[in-house]
């Protein structure tokens, strides 16, 4: 497979996903944009393994195949999967840390063999660190910045984005047996921690979501505190994502935390405004 073809495959995966992250990637120079496509396509691939219907043993096997692919890339500078070439080139060019890829796979694997249901708070933040913080840390390498303040920014923003996702998708997640709200918060308000659909129909679920919203708001605030003005230009893709997710957060807050469905709608005009905000 030609290099251009392998990155084209990654781009197709990103476009097909319909993710808001695509907007942040589009402003990058071509080489960094292609690298981000490769990274996000990998994230999409392993996430789909867990989400799509299949036997549990097959899901574990497919995740292990990706662990083996990373070993092949890092130890032998080689690849075997169609997406592997784009990933190899990206890892090599931007010196991406294998530990972050391992954390990412470990994070998505937390939904196996059974979906996450009311994790303890420390497990909740481990999950966020894996599925959101790890991609953030890898992205910063591609953007061209990697210092302690920016690392703290990536982890805080990852927690904020993932908690916003959890609030936004709580109804849909419950339909497939998932409940990401921490056990401590659920028990604080006397909400069942065993059955997701019972939990979202509980009269005090709004209080649970209010507490989760406080976590998201705090993490957004922490992320902003770690932004260094000297790095603003390089951080713009991340700032776009932060602005877009704040739109979802603010929309849910405005309508009230008791409302779980439908998911909040963000107009194209609002999205464009969020992108421009990252430049000023």
| pLDDT > 90: percent of the chain | 70
Q: Tell me the two tokens of residue 122.
A: 């420390």
pLDDT of res. 200? 95
Query: Of 71, 105, 139, which marks where a domain is finished?
Result: 105
| Together in a domain, 99 and 128 | no
Residue 217 has pLDDT above 70, yes or no: yes
**Number of Cα atoms under 13 Å in the Cβ half of residue 180:** 25
The pLDDT-based confidence of 85 (bands split at 50, 70, 90) is very high
Tell me the residue range of the domain where 20 lies.
1-105
CB atoms within 10 A of CB 37: 24
Distance (Å, rounded) from C-alpha 79 to C-alpha 74? 9
Sequence-ordered list of residues with C-beta below 8 angstroms from that of 57, at least 6 positions apart, any chain? none
Query: Of 78, 105, 132, which marks where a domain is finished?
Result: 105
Q: Tell me the two tokens of residue 44.
A: 């999409």
Q: How many domains does the chain have?
A: 2
What is the model's pTM?
0.91
Find the CATH number of the domain harbouring 122.
Answer: 1.10.600.10
pLDDT digits (tens, 9 = 90+) for 49-75: 999 989 999 999 999 999 999 999 999
Residue 118 has pLDDT above 80, yes or no: yes
The pLDDT-based confidence of 2 (bands split at 50, 70, 90) is very low
pLDDT of res. 1? 43
Q: What is the mean pLDDT of residues 3-30?
A: 76
| Together in a domain, 276 and 223 | yes
The pLDDT-based confidence of 259 (bands split at 50, 70, 90) is very high
């Amino acid at each position: 497979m030609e290099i251009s073809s392998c990155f084209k495959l990654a781009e197709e995966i990103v476009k097909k996903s319909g993710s808001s992250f695509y907007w942040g990637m589009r402003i990058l120079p071509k080489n960094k944009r292609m690298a981000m496509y490769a990274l996000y396509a990998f994230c999409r691939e392993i996430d789909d393994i867990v989400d799509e219907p299949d036997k549990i043993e097959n899901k574990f096997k497919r995740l292990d195949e990706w662990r083996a692919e990373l070993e092949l890339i890092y130890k032998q500078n080689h690849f075997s999967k169609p997406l592997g070439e784009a990933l190899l080139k990206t890892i090599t060019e931007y010196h991406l840390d294998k530990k972050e890829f391992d954390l990412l796979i470990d994070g998505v694997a937390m939904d196996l063999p059974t979906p996450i249901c009311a994790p303890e708070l420390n497990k909740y933040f481990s999950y966020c660190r894996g599925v959101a913080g790890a991609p953030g840390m890898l992205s910063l390498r591609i953007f061209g910045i990697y210092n302690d303040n920016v690392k703290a920014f990536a982890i805080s923003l990852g927690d904020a984005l993932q908690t916003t996702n959890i609030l936004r998708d709580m109804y849909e997640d419950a339909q497939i047996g998932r409940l990401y709200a921490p056990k401590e918060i659920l028990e604080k308000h006397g909400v069942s921690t065993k059955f997701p659909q019972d939990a979202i129909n509980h009269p005090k679920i709004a209080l649970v979501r209010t507490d989760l919203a406080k976590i998201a708001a705090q993490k957004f605030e922490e992320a902003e505190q770690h932004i260094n003005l000297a790095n603003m230009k390089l951080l713009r893709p991340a700032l776009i994502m932060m602005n877009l997710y704040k739109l979802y957060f603010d929309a849910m807050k405005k309508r009230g935390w008791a409302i779980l469905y439908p998911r909040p709608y963000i107009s194209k005009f609002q999205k464009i405004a969020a992108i421009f905000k990252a430049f000023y």
